[in-house]
Amino acid sequence: MEEKLQSILERAKQGAREVSTRADLESFKARLVGPKGELTEVMKGMASVPREDKPRVGRRLNEVKGELESLFAELLGAIEAKESAARLGPSIDPSLPSPDGGPGSLHPLAQVREEICSILRKVGFSVVEGPEVETEYYCFDALNTPSDHPARDLQDTYYLPESARFSNVSKMKRERYLLRTHTSSVQIRHMLKTSPPVRVVSPGRCFRRDTADATHSANFHQVEGLYVDQDVSVKDLKALLDYFIRSLLGQDARTRFRPHFFPYTEPSFEVDFSSSHLEKLGSRWIEIAGCGMVHPAVFESVGYDPEKYSGFAFGMGIERIAMILYGVDDIRYFYQNDLRFLQQFA
Amino acid sequence: MKISTQWLQEYIDLDHSPEAVEEALTLIGFEVEGVEKTGLPEMPGVVVGEVLESQPHPNADRLSVCRVSVYEGEEPRSIVCGAKNYKVGDRVPVALPGAELPGGFKIKASKLRGVRSEGMMCSGRELGISDDAEGLLILRERPEIGTSINELFPGGDVVYDVEVTPNRPDCLSHVGMARELAAYFGLELRYPEFTHSFSPENPGGQPQLIESVTVEAEEDCPLYMAFPVTGVKVGPSPEWLRRILVSVGLRPVNNVVDITNYVLLELGQPLHAFDAAKIGGRKLVIRRAREGEKLVTLDDKERELSKSMMVIADAGKPLVVAGVMGSIDAEVDESTTDIVLESACFRAGSIRNTSRRLNLSTDSSYRFERGVDPRGVKYAAQRALDLILDIAGGRIDSDGIQVGHEPELQQEITLDFEFIRRRGGLEIADQTIEEILESLELKVSRYDTSDMGHKWVVQIPGFRTDLEAPIDLVEEVVRIHGTDKIPEAPVRCIGLDADDDRQVVFSRRAADYLAGQHFNECFNYSLRSWEELHKWFSNAGMDSLRLSNPLSSDQSHLRWSLIPGLLDVLKLNRYRKTGGVRFFERGRTFRELEGAVAEVNTVCFVIFNPEGVRSWKTREPADFYTAKNLILNLAQLAGFDLSAEEVGPVPMTNSAWQEGHSAKLGDLFRGVEARLGLLNLALLKAYDLEGTVVSGILEILPEKFEQALPRPTFQPFSSYPAAERDLALLVHRDEMAGAVRRKLETFGRRAAGDSFDLENVALFDLYEGKGIPEGQKSLAFSLIFRAADRTLTEEEVNQVFQKVQDDIAKETSYRIRK
């Protein structure tokens, strides 16, 4: 009996080599463990095994049965692996390029705008938006810009015809529509809606009637910040710009305030920075922003009490900063959208 | 404005280095755009020497060896020289060992071809005196041996080109600038001294040279003064005057004209000198020009004038465009003997208007445009008369004629100095503030207030019309005290309850999403051409998008859509073979709605499917449904569910889209609209794009973002299994799948009633062709049912499913495909 079991096992192992399909496996199994299978037949003979041999033969029988089971499982695994391989086809060449699109990218101006906004968010500013088509009131009058100021001239500012009507750009009186020359107009609209304290930053597209060249563009982008509260001083303005410039240009960047003139701030300054990081530019002072204390006349035009509140405003050109940060030497690259340019900042 | 250091020395003792002056000017608010050094730099080792002897060089044909005396009583030096233009006995500049020539060339004693040379004899070029490099500079005046070359050629000057901001017309003058520097450096300011007293020959009498001055254009000319001078001798100006004018970029003309220019640059008051003989009828009339009246200005150009311009005319013709430029007809020249000197105050806006319209900006108009000090009008005239009498001679004929008055401008500002400290954020003593203000010629006086405190009254001189309120004085103090003294401080950051505008949040998320979908962001110009607008969007309401003063015809209109810009980008990248096919842009567009233009927040993307694209592995090209997915997802980011919106074709007036392969979702009238699909193949041709372009544009009115989105509330969902049933329907081929789906949803919900949900109806198959009747299509849907509280039984689901089928048979023209 035990020899029989041994020979079944040996023949099974040999026969396994012939098994290559699921059908082969089924008939192979039937031949061994089916109702008329060889092992089944041996099991039927257990009754005639002498009593004292039963435990030993039984144990051997179970062993052989177990070995056959694992042989079947092994064969099934091999068949399944073969089937999977057939389904997947030949192995891939991992060095082939992906036919799918490359990485997308955010425009460098958008990235710089976001970087500026997020530096300011950390010190409590929130970002506001306003219309690109503005009116003379919000762009000039409310910002203390006299009616004969050269900036308002037809030479420098784009106007829309008298007949133009804009459904979602409100006028104060019957003033003309124009394309905003700065985003300070957003601050006026914001102050008219809210009361102090105010801390907002307004990024956006602006327009000046300039002929395009390496440093001028028909439209450009600005970020302007506004801070209004009680008892705000030039010291607070300087502190904020020191923080901002160090965050943007590195901890060793230094700032310098040069007195300047803007109708909407008093005192007004232009801000220069110098930084050892910008090797190409050396340690020279580079102009980066304009700023000042909000002129009392501006507060009056939005109904804030200039006796009670003071504040500061600052503004900078996104293109200019992007040119400094990335070393771009011609503003027109930003508006060409050559993929080789865009992807450098991805 | 060009500022000469030598000129400044007339009013202040400026002994600071050019670098220190440049920095000072910058830090007090006058940006220095250029620094020009003229004349000789200090060259201590360059002196006058005399050639005593000249011998040929023993080892070089072209050189000679000279013995040169440089100091009386000292042994002559041996100097090797290559020049030929001198002779023994000539005096020439000699650079001794240790001297440094312009350009950094250092002189050393050395051997030249074996002969020792103890210095160098110099050419004009080598010293930077002239361009003459031909030979030695022969000093024909035979100055004393040993004299320093700097003594012979004084006149080294440093000229700063400074930007003067429009609020500071007082600094468009040397005295004005000297005042600022005096304040900053703590120097004494001296005003020019007069050598003549003004006692006319005919005091109080009628001037002989002119009969009358009449101001007709009173509002534009508040003050006009005319001073007749007889018997002047017109000729070239003296050397010092010519040199100083040249140093700041002016061309000397003759003494009278040069003096008016000198005083203009000294005091900032423009002056004009008339040849009295050329004033017809001995009358001066300040009037508006007649429409079309002509005059030839001093630059030899004929100017046609209009009624908005002001002229100074005689009895018949205009002689001067007031405040801008004179005509050749009244020019002072060598034949002039009697003059009339004009000093006046014209209204800034009037001069600006004239200057702009004539496209003619002069030193005079530039100053009038910014405003001149009316109280300086007479002073400047007297200064000029003083110089005329000195330089050109002549006699003052009478008191002159004055029309109009100096305006009453007694301006003062009352404030508490504490205000300056608080606004300026400065730690500064009262006394320092007072000193700073006084140094700017602002008179300060203090008085005690009833509450035991003090206030200060600051008198504002006529030349500082920019100072109106206490805050203006804060700037003066910060400026002169020095912005570098603003103390360091931490950022003030008190918590505020404010979020970013939702538009900003949406825009950022949309960009991140599209970049994640392989799109590259673009920035295109907002101004587009009429041709483009017209070609793409015949319904664009072009007239309302037109600028009234465009700079060029290709940038004359506001953009209606972002698509043309993005096609330019595809075209450029195609042409340059960069491989870029996916681009997007976000920005403002402008759309006409019911006769008014709305500014719209827009996101737009394009995907180019080039024809005959080669790839080792071909993907399904992007199509309408690619765009649909992107658009629905973008709208979702803005908080809008466009999937529930009615889909319709894009209106025919918008020719951007390919009919039958594009659609419109929503409507901008309600605040949100999307258009998507294939762009019109016919229009792509102009962009050399062979293939198809899939695009989507999502437009949202900014006001739609004003309301904050409510925070979502959790909706519980069932954890019991779903039951699924499939249903295929034969419908007319024009029937939209969305409509069929909605109908199934209605029927399903109705049939299930309250007992359980029809959770979803999803289309999974669309088939047309063999086995389907002509003109029909088959749509197969799967319906998912689920109950909140139990596992559904086969029976109840079947019952509802049967009811749905019965309703379809009864209420629709659809046929169920078995």
Letter for the amino acid at A171?
Answer: K
Question: Over the stretch B761-794, which tens digit does the pLDDT of each residue have?
Answer: 999 999 999 989 999 999 999 999 999 999 999 9
Strand segments, DSSP code E, in chain A are 126-127, 133-135, 177-179, 198-207, 219-229, 254-262, 265-274, 286-294, 310-317
Region for residue B146 given its phi and psi (left: phi exceeds 0; alpha: psi -120 to 50; beta: otherwise): left
Output the furthest CA–CA distance in chain B (Å, rounded). 135
Q: Are B527 and A219 within 8 A, CB to CB?
A: yes
Model confidence at A155: pLDDT above 90: no
Q: Please name which of B366, B372, B382, B320 lies closest in space to residue B346, comparing C-alpha atoms.
A: B372
Confidence at residue B207, expressed as pLDDT on a 0 to 100 scale:
65
Q: Which domain covers residue A337, as residue numbers?
A: 108-345
- On whether the CB atoms of residues B599 and A169 are closer than 8 A, the answer is yes
Q: Are B520 and A343 within 8 A, CB to CB?
A: yes
Model confidence at B631: pLDDT above 80: yes
Domain residue spans of chain B:
2-39+157-185, 46-152, 212-404, 411-485, 502-705, 723-817
Q: Helix %, strand %, coil % for chain B, to 5?
A: 30, 30, 40
Smallest Cα distance from B172 to chain A, Å = 15
Asked whether the domain spanning B502-705 has the same topology as the one spanning B46-152, the reply is no
- A278 in a structural domain: yes
**Domains of chain A: total:** 2
Q: Which CATH architecture has domain B46-152?
A: Beta Barrel (2.40)
The residues near B102 (Cβ < 8 Å, ≥ 6 apart) are B40, B41, B43, B126, B127, B128
Confidence at residue B212, expressed as pLDDT on a 0 to 100 scale:
87
Instruction: Supply the angle between the helices B430-439 and B417-424 in degrees, to the nearest 10.
Output: 90
Q: Are strands B283-288 and B212-215 parallel, antiparallel or unpaired?
A: parallel
Task: For residues B281 and A138, give the distance between their C-alpha atoms in angstroms, rounded to a whole number.
Answer: 52
- On whether the CB atoms of residues A71 and A34 are closer than 8 A, the answer is no
- On whether the CB atoms of residues B80 and B63 are closer than 8 A, the answer is yes
- A93 in a structural domain: no
Task: For residues A113 and B500, give the distance between their C-alpha atoms in angstroms, rounded to a whole number.
Answer: 14
What is the pLDDT averaged over residues B561-580?
95
Model confidence at B319: pLDDT above 80: yes
The residues near B787 (Cβ < 8 Å, ≥ 6 apart) are B718, B720, B755, B756, B757
Confidence of residue B71 (pLDDT cuts 50, 70, 90): confident
Question: Over the stretch B336-345, which tens digit does the pLDDT of each residue have?
Answer: 999 999 999 9
Question: Are A189 and A300 members of one domain?
Answer: yes
Task: For residues B656 and B643, give the distance between their C-alpha atoms in angstroms, rounded to a whole number.
Answer: 23
Model confidence at A232: pLDDT above 80: yes
Instruction: Supply the angle between the helices B255-267 and B174-185 in degrees, to the nearest 10.
Output: 30
Question: Over the stretch B728-772, which tens digit does the pLDDT of each residue have?
Answer: 999 999 999 999 999 999 999 999 999 899 999 999 999 999 989
Which two three-digit tokens encode residue B70?
């440089």
The domain B2-39+157-185: what is its CATH number? 3.30.56.10
Q: Are B617 and A96 within 8 A, CB to CB?
A: yes
Question: Over the stretch B475-519, which tens digit does the pLDDT of each residue have?
Answer: 999 999 999 999 999 998 888 888 999 999 999 999 999 999 999
Question: Over the stretch B111-153, which tens digit does the pLDDT of each residue have?
Answer: 888 888 989 998 888 887 766 677 888 888 888 888 888 887 7
Question: Are A113 and A261 members of one domain?
Answer: yes
Smallest Cα distance from A42 to chain B, Å = 48
- A94 in a structural domain: no
Model confidence at B362: pLDDT above 80: yes
Confidence of residue B253 (pLDDT cuts 50, 70, 90): very high
The residues near A222 (Cβ < 8 Å, ≥ 6 apart) are A182, A183, A203, A204, A206, A315, A316, A317, A318
What is the pLDDT averaged over residues B186-202?
81
* Among candidate residues A88, A118, A143, the one where a domain is terminated: A88
Q: Are B517 and A158 within 8 A, CB to CB?
A: no
Question: Are A73 and A150 members of one domain?
Answer: no
Question: Over the stretch A82-93, which tens digit does the pLDDT of each residue have?
Answer: 999 999 999 899
Question: Are A184 and A313 members of one domain?
Answer: yes
Confidence at residue A260, expressed as pLDDT on a 0 to 100 scale:
95
Confidence at residue B795, expressed as pLDDT on a 0 to 100 scale:
94
State the complex-level ipTM.
0.89
Output the furthest CA–CA distance in chain A (Å, rounded). 125
Question: Over the stretch B343-361, which tens digit does the pLDDT of each residue have?
Answer: 999 998 899 999 989 999 9
Question: Over the stretch A239-298, which tens digit does the pLDDT of each residue have?
Answer: 999 999 999 999 989 999 999 999 999 999 999 998 876 655 555 888 999 999 999 999
* Topology (CATH level 3) of domain B723-817: Alpha-Beta Plaits (3.30.70)
The residues near B143 (Cβ < 8 Å, ≥ 6 apart) are B48, B91, B152
Confidence at residue B204, expressed as pLDDT on a 0 to 100 scale:
59
Letter for the amino acid at B376?
Answer: G
Question: Are A298 and A250 members of one domain?
Answer: yes
Confidence of residue B206 (pLDDT cuts 50, 70, 90): low
Question: Are A19 and A126 members of one domain?
Answer: no
Question: Are A320 and A198 members of one domain?
Answer: yes
| Minimal-distance CA residue of chain A relative to B593 | A167
The domain B212-404: what is its CATH number? 3.50.40.10
The residues near B612 (Cβ < 8 Å, ≥ 6 apart) are B690
Confidence at residue A46, expressed as pLDDT on a 0 to 100 scale:
81
Question: Are A275 and A218 members of one domain?
Answer: yes
Smallest Cα distance from B256 to chain A, Å = 33
Task: For residues B304 and B306, give the distance between their C-alpha atoms in angstroms, rounded to a whole number.
Answer: 7
Model confidence at B607: pLDDT above 60: yes
The total of other beta-carbon atoms located within 10 Å of residue B593's CB is 15
* Among candidate residues A54, A88, A122, the one where a domain is terminated: A88
Q: Are A229 and B494 within 8 A, CB to CB?
A: yes
Strand segments, DSSP code E, in B327-451 are 339-345, 395-396, 401-404, 411-415, 443-448
Task: For residues B246 and B6, give the distance between their C-alpha atoms in angstroms, rounded to a whole number.
Answer: 12
Confidence at residue B198, expressed as pLDDT on a 0 to 100 scale:
67
- A95 in a structural domain: no
Size of interface A-B (CB pairs under 8 A): 262
Letter for the amino acid at B235?
Answer: G
Question: Are A169 and A302 members of one domain?
Answer: yes
Confidence of residue B196 (pLDDT cuts 50, 70, 90): confident
* Topology (CATH level 3) of domain B411-485: Phenylalanyl-tRNA Synthetase; Chain B, domain 1 (3.30.56)
Least confident segment among A33-37, B407-411, B573-577: B407-411
Smallest Cα distance from B40 to chain A, Å = 27
Model confidence at B279: pLDDT above 70: yes
| Minimal-distance CA residue of chain B relative to A219 | B525
Name every chain B residue with its beta carbon within 8 A of the beta carbon of A296: 469, 471
Least confident segment among B253-267, B389-403, B657-671: B389-403
What is the pLDDT averaged over residues B560-580?
95
Confidence at residue B154, expressed as pLDDT on a 0 to 100 scale:
67
Model confidence at B170: pLDDT above 90: yes
The residues near B680 (Cβ < 8 Å, ≥ 6 apart) are B655, B656, B657, B658
Confidence at residue B625, expressed as pLDDT on a 0 to 100 scale:
96
Confidence at residue B287, expressed as pLDDT on a 0 to 100 scale:
94
The domain B502-705: what is its CATH number? 3.30.930.10
Burial group, residue A43, by CB count within 10 angstroms (0-12, 13-18, 19+):
middle
